[in-house]
Amino acid sequence: MRRLNIRWRLTLWFGAAMILLLLIRSFWIYFIMDWRTTLHTDSQLNLDISAISTQLRTADDRSQLVQALNQYVMRHAAAEVKVKGPDNSVIFSYAPGQDVRSPSSTKEPQGHEKWAHFTTETPNGRRRAVSGQVPSSIGNLSIELSLSTQDRRDEVLSFALTLFTTLPFVFAAALGVGYFVSSRALTPVDKMISDAQRITGLQLNQRIAVPESRDELARLARTLNEMINRLHQSFEDMRRFTADAAHDLRTPVTALRTAVEVSLMADHTTEEYQASLHTILDEAIHLSQLTSQLLDLSREDHGAKSGVSEPVRLDELIAIATADLQLAAQKKGIAVETVQMPPLLVSGDPIRLRRVFMNLLDNALQYTPCGGNVQIKGGPLGDGALITIIDNGPGIPEDELPHIFDRFRRVDKSRTRQGGGTGLGLAICKAIVEAHGGRIHMDSAIGYGTRVSVELPGYQADASKELPSDND
Ligand code: ATP
Ligand code: MG
């Protein structure tokens, strides 16, 4: 059954359900008709036996009794009558066929009702009988009266047979109707399959036609289209990322090649060779930065979420990052001060979190002009922590802010390139912070400076009451 397609499975289920229902209905009709025949015959027998017993009660002697019974059987030739006297001798007996009651199929009269009804099987078919005691002038008479129910039974049986013999035709018709209905219902699915087969990685701008109905299939088509939208977006992001990466890799490689070619073209002075080697070194450093950043991003993309998660003292981690960058800050004459930083415990990977704050502080130092200042503030936010890094650098234009966390996004490409920027630092920060369940946000005003806020969820274990210290 599982190998069949849905269309045939539905058809067979429909056919089988129809057959089952018809069988139940046929049996139901048969039993109801049989029961009604018995009920009808019983009420006829009640009427007859009441009439006979009235005549028997009023008869003066035995001959009048027999006469009354004879009159009855003349009017009811199909009836079988047997009357016994008080001494159990048969006073009157009339039978269209000889009674050979089969004990197994005969229901004996039950209870102490006035008239007891039962069924007998005779060679001429089934009979329904009634028996009882009637007082008469010659004493108590036992009377038994029966009518044939065979004709009605034959009718019921032939009706039931007709119902059963039509079952194969009904089954065939049910299969036909089932196949037609399921085909109609599944036509939109066929259409969706052929639409989906047309869509490849190169044609993700195509969509599945949504059926006009407002049913589950229309919902399925819409859901698939939403999924294709998301895939399309991811494909586009990946394509752009690859193109940007290729472009950014090509620039330093070209610069390297040019520097080497120029050096080899003619003899140069030692100073000229040194200058060339410096250029080569700069480009090599840039290339190595770029490749390691690409690697970081690719790690974040491939679920670094499931990486290390341990209690991290954020205040201590930031203090170390600030100390590491102090020399660069001093060189530029930039004052880096931590204005507020209570102990803060978050949960995460200390190496990746350190990379976030190193990148952000590096940006603040890199883009803030000499003599500027950078402030670092930290404080609790709900269960977690909020860290803000504020500089009084050139700021970022308003239209750039929404895209500032995109990969390879640089505001001033020439300026950044000189400083060795690849435009991946903030994208890496965002990926790491979000993988930790946090948020990163940037505000800026041209000419005033930039503020980056990082929210991180806190460490949830009881250990948070006693903050661990790196000095411990
Ligand atoms: P790298 O990948 O080496 O960090 P990058 O610094 O150019 O290169 P991002 O850190 O992602 O890349 O920053 C993207 C851009 O945002 C930068 O090129 C710069 O134009 C702008 N930017 C980032 N931080 C600041 C800041 N504090 N002040 C002014 N501009 C900033
Ligand atoms: Mg940067």
Cβ-based neighbour number of residue 465 at 10 Å: 7
Spatial distance between the Cα atoms of 147 and 42, rounded to a whole number of angstroms: 9
- For the CA of 449, the closest atom of ligand 1 is 28
Tell me which residue has its CA closest to atom 24 in ligand 1.
363
For residues 346 and 310, the answer to whether their CB atoms sit within 8 Å is: no
Q: Residues within 5 Å of ion ligand 2 by Cβ?
A: 363, 425
pLDDT mean over 336-346: 94
Confidence of residue 113 (pLDDT cuts 50, 70, 90): very low
- For the CA of 426, the closest atom of ligand 1 is 11
With tokens 């948020």, the residue in question is: 439
**Burial annotation 208-243 (CB, 10 A radius, 16+ → b, else e):** bebbeeeeebeebbeebbeebeeebeeeeeeeebee
Q: Which of 285, 416, 428 to mutate to test the pocket of ligand 1 (most atoms within 8 A of CB)?
A: 416
Radius of gyration (C-alpha) of the chain in whole angstroms: 51
pLDDT mean over 356-376: 95
Give 249 Cα–ligand 2 centroid separation in angstroms: 17
Q: Identify the pLDDT of residue 110.
A: 42
Q: Among residues of the chain, what percentage have pLDDT more than 70? A: 90
pLDDT in tens, 367-410: 999 999 999 999 999 999 999 999 999 999 999 999 999 988 88
pLDDT of 415 > 60? The answer is: no
Q: Identify the pLDDT of residue 356.
A: 95
Nearest Cα to Cα of residue 170 among 53, 47, 66, 26: 26
Q: Identify the pLDDT of residue 452.
A: 98
Q: Report the range out of 88-102, 169-183, 303-317, 441-455 with the highest average pLDDT.
A: 441-455
More confident residue, 100 or 93: 93
Give 243 Cα–ligand 2 centroid separation in angstroms: 20
More confident residue, 161 or 405: 405
More confident residue, 415 or 458: 458
Confidence of residue 306 (pLDDT cuts 50, 70, 90): low
pLDDT mean over 326-348: 94
More confident residue, 307 or 219: 219
Q: Is 372 in the pocket of ligand 1 (CB under 6 A)?
A: no
Confidence of residue 305 (pLDDT cuts 50, 70, 90): low
pLDDT mean over 313-337: 94
pLDDT in tens, 186-227: 888 888 899 888 888 778 888 888 888 888 889 999 999 999
Give 390 Cα–ligand 2 centroid separation in angstroms: 15
Spatial distance between the Cα atoms of 390 and 445, rounded to a whole number of angstroms: 11
Confidence (pTM): 0.60
- For the CA of 427, the closest atom of ligand 1 is 11
pLDDT mean over 155-165: 85
Distances (CA, A) of 232 to 199, 225, 244, 427: 11, 10, 18, 20
Q: Identify the pLDDT of residue 384.
A: 93
Give 80 Cα–ligand 2 centroid separation in angstroms: 114
Q: Give the mean pLDDT of the chain.
A: 85
pLDDT mean over 283-288: 90
Nearest Cα to Cα of residue 417 among 262, 289, 324: 289
Q: Among residues of the chain, what percentage have pLDDT more than 90? A: 36
Give 313 Cα–ligand 2 centroid separation in angstroms: 24
Q: Is 441 in the pocket of ligand 1 (CB under 6 A)?
A: no
Lowest mean pLDDT: which of 55-69, 260-274, 332-346? Answer: 55-69
In one-letter notation, the amino acid at residue 94 is: Y
Spatial distance between the Cα atoms of 324 and 65, rounded to a whole number of angstroms: 133
Give 304 Cα–ligand 2 centroid separation in angstroms: 21
Q: Identify the pLDDT of residue 420.
A: 56
Give 232 Cα–ligand 1 centroid separation in angstroms: 28
Spatial distance between the Cα atoms of 377 and 390, rounded to a whole number of angstroms: 8
Tell me which residue has its CA closest to atom 6 in ligand 1.
421
Confidence of residue 2 (pLDDT cuts 50, 70, 90): low
Q: Identify the pLDDT of residue 166.
A: 85
Q: Is 426 in the pocket of ligand 1 (CB under 6 A)?
A: yes
Query: Helix 6-58 and helix 150-165: axis angle, to 10°?
Result: 180
Q: Is 293 in the pocket of ligand 1 (CB under 6 A)?
A: yes
pLDDT mean over 18-41: 88
Query: In this structure, what token pair is assigned to residue 87?
Result: 């001494």
pLDDT mean over 332-360: 94
Q: Identify the pLDDT of residue 105.
A: 37
Distances (CA, A) of 6 to 91, 172, 186, 435: 74, 18, 9, 42
Q: Which of 362, 407, 426 to mutate to test the pocket of ligand 1 (most atoms within 8 A of CB)?
A: 426
Q: Is 363 in the pocket of ligand 1 (CB under 6 A)?
A: yes
Q: Is 294 in the pocket of ligand 1 (CB under 6 A)?
A: no
Sheet holding 80-84, edge to edge: 90-94, 80-84, 139-148, 125-136, 116-122
Tell me which residue has its CA closest to atom 12 in ligand 1.
423
Q: Report the range out of 67-81, 166-180, 279-293, 437-451 with the highest average pLDDT.
A: 437-451
Lowest mean pLDDT: which of 3-7, 238-242, 437-441? Answer: 3-7
For residue 64, give every residue at least 6 positions away whose Cβ sits within 8 Å of its Cβ, in sequence order, or none: none
In one-letter notation, the amino acid at residue 144 is: E
